[in-house]
Amino acid sequence: MNLSLEYKIREPKVKLDKNPLLLLLHGYGSNEADLFSFAAELPDEYYVISARAPYDMQYGSYAWYAINFDADQNKFSDHDQAKVSRDLIAGFIDELIQTYPIDPEKVTLIGFSQGSILSYAVALSYPEKVQKVVAMSGYLNLEIVSDDYLKNTFNNLKIFASHGTSDQVIPVAWARKTPAILENLGIDITYKEYPIGHGVAPQNFYDFKNWLVDHT
């Protein structure tokens, strides 16, 4: 069966009737090999699947949506493309559950940067498909969440969010607005900052890995 996104997979080392899933979503201009470098260090019972974003930027670089610049070098995102990717990821989760013995009640998204922004959008738009989110170096963009998301129930959704205090790509001020919005929706969120730029510090990795273990 050809699935709608290209991906890399690490099968669980501990096979259950149905195993939980970690779905990794890379950042702008990267590819599925990037976050997959974490795979060997992630808990043994998970399927670890790293998806490739659909928009080809050439030379092994991909994006979930375009980021454009105007004449004054202001950045703006293509929200229509972002919404298409949001729904594509939601459909990809369904395809994975049909293809592999994955527990549909134990799906976690792990996103970095643009992949993190998409992880928030998928989880708020489709909380019945996602139980946990690890959102690193991103922020919540409500403009790409489904229009009727406030009708959704978020009782089962838990989020670990993190950001570098020296991030020059996505300002930490944007990330700091996210916890209050999520708490107002009744979502259980853990938020941490690290003294780094736009990346994943070793402590960040250990913290989210421990969070996963604590929230199984």
Contact 88, 64 (CB under 8 A): no
Question: Which amino acid, one-letter code, is at 123?
Answer: A
7-214: CATH topology is Rossmann fold (3.40.50)
- Cα 118 to its chain centre, rounded Å, is 6
Q: Where are the domains of the chain?
A: 7-214
Entry pTM:
0.95
Q: What is the pLDDT of residue 2?
A: 80
Over the stretch 162-197, which tens digit does the pLDDT of each residue have? Answer: 999 999 999 999 999 999 999 999 999 999 999 999
Between CA 104 and CA 94 the distance in angstroms is 8
Per the structure block, which two tokens stand in for 60?
């092994």
Q: What is the pLDDT of residue 147?
A: 96
Over the stretch 53-109, which tens digit does the pLDDT of each residue have? Answer: 999 999 999 999 988 765 555 667 789 999 999 999 999 999 999 999 999 999 999
Q: What is the pLDDT of residue 45?
A: 95
Contact 87, 56 (CB under 8 A): no
